[in-house]
């Protein structure tokens, strides 16, 4: 029996970050992955979607150049296969980078499907060489590839005792800890089974052969909004249907209002408080009936119906009961100790999308969880993840970015709060961008702690980092107001919002 210190099941952001940190701390680590290391984020989530949204931004820029700046530019066409090729190249290079990092750290990657056989024991079935792993070029600037201490440029595969391409089973037992990091997959609705062609998930939308002329997006969370935004930029007629009374319903109400306004301005038909009644799949598309917020029945015809109603945890084939564990009614594995992300079975930990809220179903939250679990297993002191201080971003146009509590949450928790909202166009750079947007700060009354910061507008995904330190470090508006922001930038608006709350408003009186 192979007995490393740590076995990690699942090589997504949660699993591979756990493995990298544990190996860096001197532990012997085996990572089991049945598909590709990098997981959802790298292959079907964050990275391909943001690559496509970057292309969408360029398309939008052509319209802006023509309409606002007198640049006589026109858009000939979007070459979808070329766009996909660039996106896939970015994904492939990142994939090779993750493989190389793992190899460099000395993590043994076993490509196969893991099933629990006891509290810390695992059987890996269908063991094989990880697809594509032997394609890693050596010395091409991929992190660690050229200085792979094992020298083969084929991370992990040569460690596979069954050899490359072979299939079989392997039994493992963890001396210190077992980490479950099997992630999530798109959730679907009963009676609305994706067929990959007309009714699609976010996974299918990536691999579609072309762009639809019209799309009905079901679900106004981050993924639904991003796909709605992307398709609109590339010329599709887009309807966005959300059952809650506002899109991005977990964010501050003012964020939802500004985002709705921004998306509508771009021609997206945003329907919040609306429910899908039924959908009929036709040869050339889908005809859906939707009950609107006003109680009317609306028939929407679209080439594609994209179901983005959330994600569901993956435990199929894992047999968590063999380790003495159970999933909750939604399929999550719930830690008994959130400070260590340890289950009721000692030494068995959980990271990533397999965790229920307050974990966030976000890649960067899973990185933090991976660090915490690895350090815990290595006996190194590690602070629990402060989920309230983890930023949340929607990469649409306009973008949203937030950290901490919304105004309603802060009040519900009994805080006496003050808020300050200001439009991004209150600063010169906001006018240059001309896309509206806003900054909202929620703070304790009487000059107390900043509880939440909420941004909407261009580039706010890059602007939230400052506010995450403000919230994470329990700073007060006067602490921030001491620090000068560069002029002219969009970040000045954030600085101004704090200056005003500190009683030192300059452009916002």
Ligand X SMILES: Cc1cc2nc3c(=O)[nH]c(=O)nc-3n(C[C@H](O)[C@H](O)[C@H](O)COP(=O)(O)OP(=O)(O)OC[C@H]3O[C@@H](n4cnc5c(N)ncnc54)[C@H](O)[C@@H]3O)c2cc1C
Question: Where in the sequence numbering do the catalytic residues fall?
Answer: 487
Q: Does 437 bind ligand X (CB under 6 A)?
A: no
Q: How far is the CB of 446 from ligand X (least distance, A)?
A: 35
Q: Which of residues 265-304 bind ligand X (CB under 6 A)?
A: none
Q: Stretches 46-54, 93-101, 252-260, 469-477: which one binds ligand X (CB under 6 A)? A: 46-54
φ and ψ of 103, to 5 deg: -65, -45
43 CB neighbour count, 10 Å cutoff: 21
Q: Does 406 bind ligand X (CB under 6 A)?
A: no
SS (HEC) of 167-180: CCEEEEECCCEEEE
Q: How far is the CB of 497 from ligand X (least distance, A)?
A: 25
Q: Does 39 bind ligand X (CB under 6 A)?
A: yes
Number of residues that bind ligand X (CB under 6 A): 38
Q: Does 334 bind ligand X (CB under 6 A)?
A: no
Q: How far is the CB of 86 from ligand X (least distance, A)?
A: 18
Q: Does 114 bind ligand X (CB under 6 A)?
A: yes
Q: Does 219 bind ligand X (CB under 6 A)?
A: no
Report the DSSP pairing between strands 169-173 and 121-128.
antiparallel
CA 221/CA 328 separation, integer angstroms:
23
Structure letter (DSSP) for residue 264:
H
Q: Does 317 bind ligand X (CB under 6 A)?
A: yes
The binder of ligand X chosen from 4, 29, 49, 419 (CB under 6 A) = 49
Q: How far is the CB of 102 from ligand X (least distance, A)?
A: 13
**CB closer to ligand X out of 395 and 498:** 395
55 in Cβ contact with 47 (< 8 Å) = no
SS (HEC) of 418-430: EEEEEEHHHCHHH
Q: Does 366 bind ligand X (CB under 6 A)?
A: yes
Q: How far is the CB of 508 from ligand X (least distance, A)?
A: 31
Q: How far is the CB of 162 from ligand X (least distance, A)?
A: 15
What is the full DSSP assignment across 393-456?
A: EE-SSSEEEEEE--HHHHHHTT--EEEEEEEGGGSHHHHHHT---EEEEEEETTT--EEEEEEE
CA 360/CA 448 separation, integer angstroms:
27
Give just the sign of the alpha carbon dihedral 263, 266, 268, 269: positive
Q: Does 184 bind ligand X (CB under 6 A)?
A: yes
Q: Stretches 270-278, 282-290, 356-364, 488-496: which one binds ligand X (CB under 6 A)? A: 356-364
The binder of ligand X chosen from 11, 177, 224, 452 (CB under 6 A) = 11
148 CB neighbour count, 10 Å cutoff: 20
Maximum CA extent, the chain = 71
The binder of ligand X chosen from 55, 179, 181, 372 (CB under 6 A) = 181
The binder of ligand X chosen from 9, 274, 276, 385 (CB under 6 A) = 9
122 in Cβ contact with 72 (< 8 Å) = no
CA 246/CA 225 separation, integer angstroms:
12
What is the radius of gyration, based on Cα positions, of the chain?
Answer: 24
Q: What three-state secondary structure class fits 364?
A: helix
Q: Which residues bind ligand X (CB under 6 A)?
A: 9-15, 32-35, 39-41, 44-46, 49-50, 113-114, 181-184, 202, 223, 314, 317-318, 352-353, 361-364, 366, 395
């Amino acid at each position: 029996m192979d007995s490393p210190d740590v076995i990690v099941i699942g090589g997504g952001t949660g699993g591979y970050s756990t493995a990298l940190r544990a190996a860096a701390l001197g532990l012997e680590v085996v990572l089991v992955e049945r598909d590709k290391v990098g997981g959802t984020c790298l292959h079907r989530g964050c990275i391909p979607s943001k690559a496509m949204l970057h292309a969408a931004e360029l398309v939008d820029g052509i319209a802006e150049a023509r309409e606002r700046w007198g640049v006589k530019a026109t858009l000939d066409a979007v070459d979808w296969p070329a766009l996909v090729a660039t996106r896939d190249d970015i994904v492939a290079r990142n994939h090779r980078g993750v493989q190389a990092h793992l190899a460099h750290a000395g993590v043994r990657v076993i490509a196969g499907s893991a099933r629990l056989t006891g509290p810390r024991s695992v059987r890996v079935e269908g063991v094989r060489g990880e697809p594509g792993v032997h394609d890693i070029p050596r010395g091409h600037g991929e992190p660690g590839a050229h200085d792979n201490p094992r020298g083969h440029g084929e991370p992990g595969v040569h460690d596979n005792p069954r050899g490359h391409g072979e299939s079989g089973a392997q039994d493992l037992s963890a001396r210190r800890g077992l980490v479950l990091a099997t992630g999530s997959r798109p959730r679907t609705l009963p009676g609305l089974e994706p067929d990959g062609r007309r009714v699609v998930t976010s996974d299918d939308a990536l691999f579609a052969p072309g762009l639809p002329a019209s799309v009905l997006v079901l679900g106004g969370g981050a993924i639904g909004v991003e796909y709605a935004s992307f398709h609109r930029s590339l010329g599709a007629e887009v309807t966005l249907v959300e059952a809650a009374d506002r899109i991005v319903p977990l964010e501050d109400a003012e964020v939802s209002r500004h985002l709705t306004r921004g998306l509508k301005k771009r021609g997206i038909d945003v329907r919040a408080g609306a429910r899908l009644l039924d959908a009929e799949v036709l040869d050339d598309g889908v005809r859906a009936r939707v009950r609107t917020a006003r109680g009317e029945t609306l028939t929407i015809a679209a080439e594609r119906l994209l179901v983005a109603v959330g994600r569901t945890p993956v435990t199929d084939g894992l047999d968590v009961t063999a380790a003495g564990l159970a999933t909750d009614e939604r399929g999550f594995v719930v830690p008994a100790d959130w400070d260590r992300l340890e289950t009721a079975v000692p030494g068995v930990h959980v990271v990533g999308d397999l965790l229920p809220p307050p974990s966030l179903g976000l890649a960067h939250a899973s990185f933090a969880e991976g660090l915490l679990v690895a350090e815990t297993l290595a006996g190194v002191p590690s602070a629990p993840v402060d989920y309230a201080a983890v930023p949340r971003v929607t990469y649409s146009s306009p973008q949203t970015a937030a950290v901490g509590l919304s105004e309603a949450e802060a009040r519900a928790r009994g805080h006496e709060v003050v808020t300050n909202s200001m439009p991004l166009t209150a600063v010169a750079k906001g006018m240059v961008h001309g896309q509206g947007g806003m900054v909202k700060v929620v703070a304790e009354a009487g000059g107390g702690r900043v509880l939440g910061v909420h941004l909407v507008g261009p580039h706010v995904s890059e602007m939230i980092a400052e506010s995450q330190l403000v919230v994470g470090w329990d700073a007060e508006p006067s602490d921030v107001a001491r620090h000068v922001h560069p002029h002219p930038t969009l970040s000045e608006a954030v600085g101004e919002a704090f200056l005003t709350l500190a009683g030192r408003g300059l452009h916002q009186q």
